[in-house]
Amino acid sequence: MRLIMNLLLMLKETEQIKDFEVELITKSGVKKWFLFNCVFIPDQASDFCCYQGIMHDITLRKKAERELLETERLSLTGKMARTIAHEVRNPLTNLTLAIEHINDELPDESESIKVYTEIIERNAYRIEELISELLNSSKPKELNLQLVDLRELVDETLELAVDRINFNQVYLQKSFAENLPRILLDKAKMKIALINIIINAIEAMTGDKRELTLSTQQQENTILLRIRDTGKGMSADQLEKLFEPFFTAKPNGLGLGLTSTKNILNSHNANIVVESELNKGTTFTLQFTFAD
């Protein structure tokens, strides 16, 4: 209503609306972007006048712009990751070799010193792990494609998270459509993408109502997989940055899990839409297209 009032005010003041982008919901519930133009047309011969408006569907253009931006971000992250890996791994290797040499030279009774060398070893190993995670989250994925039953894939992924689901007392609901066609996926990599979303959903739910719902649906030549939680939700600003590298709301999070997920989905030419409302929950909708 506020949007309509603002548009009417704009028409009254300037007698035109030019290149106004607006997101609308169709009768079928699909969100689409439109470019709206409107102009006041007076009739000099009488008191009759009218407004002429044109709306162009720019949903595909907006999607392409968004995907291009995400691709550029991943590319930049990949370049940064390779630079960091090169600059850090060389001194890290020297450090690890030096610690191994020190351990070999230490007498057996030097237990107090070994405590500190073990601390250095553990942290050097952790740095190596972080570098690997950064590289894996941003580089293009080489896929081992096979025809996969999406319901079986989701069930197998949920088995990986069953301990977290039980420990966090999450009520799991599944609603899978019957007889869905199989789709070409890299099963192992898609499990990684799904488990990242599922774990985030579980960790977002801290109140009394903890429900995780997974459902599938076919729309023409697209299969939709929805993962919905009843967690704390996200603001519009958080949604905008959700897949950016290093963005995280977790105190100890690295912010690469969903970046990796988006990279895997991009490799499969799959789309992901995220809707969220603060204090009500978040829904991830994955869209897989298959040939007719």
Domain definitions of the chain by residue range: 2-57, 70-138, 146-289
Q: What is the pLDDT of residues 245-267, one digit of tens each?
A: 777 776 666 667 788 888 889 88
Cβ burial, residue 214 (10 Å; 0-12/13-18/19+): buried
Identify how many contiguous H helices and E strands the chain contains and give both numbers: 8, 10
Give pLDDT, residue 17.
Answer: 78
Query: Which residues contact residue 126 at a Cβ distance below 8 angstroms, ignoring those fewer than 6 apart?
Result: none
Give dist(CA 7, CA 151) in Å, integer: 46
Give pLDDT, residue 254.
Answer: 62
Query: Which residues contact residue 254 at a Cβ distance below 8 angstroms, ignoring those fewer than 6 apart?
Result: 130, 133, 246, 248
Give pLDDT, residue 1.
Answer: 62
Question: Bridge-partner residues for 288, per DSSP?
Answer: 223
Give pLDDT, residue 214.
Answer: 96
Q: What is the pLDDT of residues 142-185, one digit of tens each?
A: 788 899 999 999 999 999 899 889 989 999 999 999 889 999 99
Give dist(CA 97, CA 156) in Å, integer: 41
Banded model confidence at residue 109, pLDDT cuts 50, 70, 90: low
Q: What is the CA radius of gyration of the chain?
A: 26
* Percent composition of the chain: helix, strand, coil (DSSP 3-state, to 5): 50, 25, 25
Pairing of strands 271-277, 49-57: unpaired
Q: Euclidean distance between the first and final Cα of the chain, in Å? A: 41
Give pLDDT, residue 118.
Answer: 83
Q: How far is CA 71 from the centre of its chain?
A: 13
Q: Which residue has the higher pLDDT, 118 or 51?
A: 118
DSSP 8-state class, residue 56? E
Q: What is the pLDDT of residues 46-91, one digit of tens each?
A: 566 777 788 888 888 877 777 777 666 666 766 777 777 777 878 8
Give dist(CA 75, CA 134) in Å, integer: 12
CATH hierarchy code of domain 146-289: 3.30.565.10
Give pLDDT, residue 281.
Answer: 92
- pLDDT of 285 above 90: yes
- pLDDT of 215 above 80: yes
CA distances from 283 to 55, 105, 158, 224, 259 (A): 29, 57, 17, 12, 17
**pTM of the entire structure?**
0.63
Q: What is the pLDDT of residues 9-25, one digit of tens each?
A: 777 777 777 888 888 77
Mean pLDDT score across all residues of the chain: 82
Give dist(CA 155, CA 176) in Å, integer: 11
